[in-house]
């Protein structure tokens, strides 16, 4: 027989296979995946999960990855657990040894994600975004160099909180400097709330047996009716291309699948209903070494819309901030052209 891979997120490991038609992708919001398992739309015969060693009561932690793994294990006909001595024990999501069919014990290092090298463009974007962040807000950070660049410019802020799908080492730095306290997180005061973690061993050691950190299933962290209850939620995510209507694709360059929706729309919409909330989409002004504008008249043919023009609030490039909420289509176009790369502004005005 032939195994055919079905991906719920497109990363480097499956990108070529998806685009060549050798693998599939199921489009869905990150927060929706547990329900697809629960409702049997994505049936699970076997779940292979990596867990921390059991505590004295027989409960094993999902460690650095709760996301949809928790529901996959609950929905599976067979659960195979790799119990890794080096998996941090985190609070929030557990499974009992009696719920597992097979256990394989290991003692191996977790993959580590090195700190990204932040470019000048990413640094300028990070500085602009940081100017939109006040004191006592709760942050949701996406993946990549730009969120790390934002963290670099938050040194003067006070009493920040974290409720996000993921965080990395930069968050630990701000906690140790007393900038992140989670004191004003009105849902989970004093807690870092996330659904998965990516970083170095330093991050994994920080979360191990740390009651300040709660790893929750993604249908909690990313659910609009949960995150939307947070006061002053600021969501920070990235785009591959933005058109002059304000439509965002974070998934495709033309017809080529690069990524997936992930949690972007979950948090954009949560921030829109959060009292005092802001959603921010970051996008370098150019691609392909500066030869193409990422602010375009229309999204490149074949690309899907990730975040609709109705949901977009702030778009940020290295050239500034465009606030699109409440703006007409003409006003949106003008604001976006003003933050496009200067080499492309005249061309965009003529379209």
Tell me which DSSP letter residue 189 carries.
Answer: T
The whole-model pTM stands at 0.95
Annotation marks residue 120 as catalytic: no
Per-residue model confidence (pLDDT) at position 264: 96
Show me where the domains of the chain are located.
Answer: 6-106, 120-350
Query: Cβ(91)–Cβ(214) under 8 Å?
Result: yes
Q: Residue-wise over 340-350: b if at least 16 C-beta within 10 A, else e?
A: bbeebbeebee
The whole-angstrom separation of Cα 262 and Cα 266 is 8
* 153 burial type by CB count under 10 A (0-12 exposed, 13-18 middle, 19+ buried): middle
Query: β-pairing, 292-293 with 286-287?
Result: antiparallel
Enter the tokens of residue 320: 């500034």
Those residues whose C-beta lies under 8 Å from the C-beta of residue 35, and which sit 6 or more positions away, are: 71, 219
Query: β-pairing, 314-317 with 286-287?
Result: unpaired
Per-residue model confidence (pLDDT) at position 12: 87
Per-residue model confidence (pLDDT) at position 351: 81
The whole-angstrom separation of Cα 1 and Cα 277 is 50
Per-residue model confidence (pLDDT) at position 255: 96
Enter the tokens of residue 31: 């927060």
Distance of CA 239 to the CA centre of its chain: 12
The candidate with the shortest Cα–Cα distance to 268, out of 246, 299, 297, is 246
Question: Could you say which architecture CATH assigns to the domain 120-350?
Answer: 3-Layer(aba) Sandwich (3.40)
Per-residue model confidence (pLDDT) at position 115: 84
Tell me which residue has tokens 């650095």: 64
Phi, then psi, of 215 in degrees rounded to 5: -95, 110
Residues of the chain with pLDDT under 50: none
Per-residue model confidence (pLDDT) at position 17: 94
Rounded (10°) CA dihedral 243, 244, 248, 253: 0
Per-residue model confidence (pLDDT) at position 307: 98
Tell me which residue has tokens 């409960």: 59
Tell me which residue has tokens 């965080």: 167
Domain 6-106 matches domain 120-350 at the CATH topology level: yes
Per-residue model confidence (pLDDT) at position 143: 73
Question: 6-106 maps to which CATH number?
Answer: 3.40.1080.10
> pLDDT tens, 83-116?
999 999 999 999 999 999 999 999 999 999 988 8
The candidate with the shortest Cα–Cα distance to 263, out of 307, 321, 327, 209, is 307
* Cα angle, residue 345 at apex, residues 344 and 351 outer, rounded to 5°: 90
Per-residue model confidence (pLDDT) at position 313: 98
Per-residue model confidence (pLDDT) at position 2: 83
Query: Cβ(94)–Cβ(73) under 8 Å?
Result: no
The whole-angstrom separation of Cα 55 and Cα 208 is 13
* Cα angle, residue 145 at apex, residues 140 and 147 outer, rounded to 5°: 20
Selecting among 165, 241, 251, 318, the annotated active-site residue is 165
Per-residue model confidence (pLDDT) at position 341: 98
């Amino acid at each position: 027989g032939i195994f055919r891979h079905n991906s719920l997120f497109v990363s480097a490991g499956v990108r070529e296979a998806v685009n060549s038609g050798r693998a599939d992708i199921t489009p869905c919001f990150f927060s929706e995946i547990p329900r697809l398992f629960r409702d049997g739309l994505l049936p699970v015969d076997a779940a292979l999960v990596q867990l921390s060693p059991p505590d004295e009561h027989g409960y094993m932690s999902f460690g650095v990855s709760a996301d949809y793994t928790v529901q996959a294990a609950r929905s599976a006909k067979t659960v195979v657990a790799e119990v890794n001595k080096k998996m941090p024990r985190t609070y929030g999501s557990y499974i009992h040894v009696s719920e597992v069919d097979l256990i394989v014990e290991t003692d191996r290092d977790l993959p580590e994600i090195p700190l990204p090298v932040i470019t000048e463009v990413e640094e300028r974007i990070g500085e602009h975004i940081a100017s939109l962040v006040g004191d006592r807000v709760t942050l949701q950070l996406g993946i990549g160099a730009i969120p790390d660049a934002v963290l670099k410019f938050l040194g003067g802020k006070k009493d920040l909180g974290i409720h996000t799908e993921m965080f990395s080492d930069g968050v630990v730095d701000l906690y140790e400097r007393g900038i992140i306290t989670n004191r004003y997180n009105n849902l989970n005061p004093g807690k870092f709330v996330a659904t998965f973690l990516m970083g170095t061993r330093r991050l994994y050691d920080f979360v191990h047996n740390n009651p300040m950190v709660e790893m929750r299933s993604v249908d909690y962290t990313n659910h609009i009716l949960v995150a939307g209850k947070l006061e002053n939620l600021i969501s920070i995510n990235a785009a591959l291309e933005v058109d002059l209507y304000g439509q965002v694709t974070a998934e495709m360059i033309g017809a080529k699948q690069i990524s997936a929706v992930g949690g972007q729309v979950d948090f954009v919409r949560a921030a829109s209903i959060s009292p005092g909330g802001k959603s921010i989409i970051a996008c370098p002004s150019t691609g392909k070494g500066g030869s193409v504008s990422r602010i375009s008249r229309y999204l490149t043919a074949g690309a899907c819309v990730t975040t609709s023009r109705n949901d977009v609030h702030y778009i940020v490039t290295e050239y500034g901030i465009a606030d699109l909420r409440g703006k007409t289509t003409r006003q949106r176009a003008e604001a976006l052209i003003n933050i496009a790369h200067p080499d492309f502004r005249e061309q965009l005005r003529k379209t």
